[in-house]
A and B are shown apart, each in its own frame.
Chain A
Amino acid sequence: MNVVGILFGLSLVVAIIGALGSALADSARTAIWSLAASMLGIAGLCLALGNDFVAIVVVIVMAILVPAILLLAVDLAPAPQLDVKEGSALILATGAVAALLALAWLLVRTTWLPAGGARQNTIEWIGSRFLSDHLVALDLLAAMLALSAIGAVALLRGRRAAR
């Protein structure tokens, strides 16, 4: 087995364990740590598949930045110790298994085109696609990020006297 195969297998296991840990954890803090582990697994899978740039972005943003923000929020305003709804676990588990089976069946049964042509996953190529074919998407993403930042600042701007 080569290095890529080992990376793929390890990342697969880490992603699954992290996702299960995030879904089954009782506290928000454990769920966030498990989320970070799962994202590292996803980044490893992207790396094994040859998407280096996406893997780097997933590590920096989804495995470090987002969990750090969530942990900071939990520290500033603690979530309940037992952060799960009670009474609906069986229905939720049944629905999740059914949804998983349906989605997996749909994805596996679909006939995908076989891979062909040049594999272009370099940063330069993705950047050029963003600036040519997907320019509108790039603008919309920038607008979405700006709006979310403005919204967050508007919600959390300075303390005001109670009325």
Chain B
Amino acid sequence: MMTLRIVLILSAALIVLGLASALRRRSLIGYLAGIELGIGGIVLLASALFDLSGFDTSTGGVIALAAIALGVAVAVIGVALHLWARRAGRRAADLEPW
């Protein structure tokens, strides 16, 4: 039970730190790093919660894998948006290469 409490508090800390980090950033990449940290907290929460309590451990793995896939999708779209914005800025300023 002690292990579960430690992991629950750590997961809460990771989620809050991730959100705070995302709110603190100016760039989209920094924002994404914060979001990924929050998703890491959710992965740990799902994995630990279903492993250390209840009867259905594999659901934690399923939720964790779904959260990881969500993190990858967010990262891909975020990076594409970041590069697109940079390219659009260079194009507007008539700078090469864009």
B interface with A by C-beta (< 8 Å): 3-21, 23-30, 32-34, 36-37, 39-41, 43-45, 47-49, 51-62, 64-66, 68-77, 79-87, 91, 94, 97-98
Interface of A is mostly: helix
Interface residues of A (CB under 8 A from B): 8, 12, 15-16, 19-20, 22-23, 28, 31-32, 35, 38-39, 42, 45-46, 49-51, 53-54, 57-58, 61-62, 65-66, 69-70, 72-74, 76-77, 79-80, 82-85, 89, 92-93, 95-96, 99-100, 103-104, 107-108, 112-117, 119-121, 125-126, 129-130, 134, 137, 141, 144-145, 147-149, 151-152, 155-156, 159, 162
- List 18 additional A-B contacts (Cβ < 8 Å) besides A8-B3, A28-B25: A23-B21, A35-B40, A46-B64, A62-B43, A70-B36, A70-B79, A72-B79, A73-B29, A85-B23, A93-B20, A95-B20, A104-B13, A107-B9, A115-B53, A115-B55, A117-B56, A148-B74, A156-B84
Contact status A113-B55, CB under 8 Å:
yes
A-B contact list, 23 entries, CB within 8 Å: A19-B17, A19-B37, A23-B17, A28-B30, A32-B33, A35-B36, A45-B47, A51-B47, A61-B68, A66-B36, A73-B79, A80-B26, A82-B26, A96-B16, A96-B17, A99-B19, A112-B4, A116-B54, A121-B51, A151-B80, A155-B81, A156-B83, A162-B94
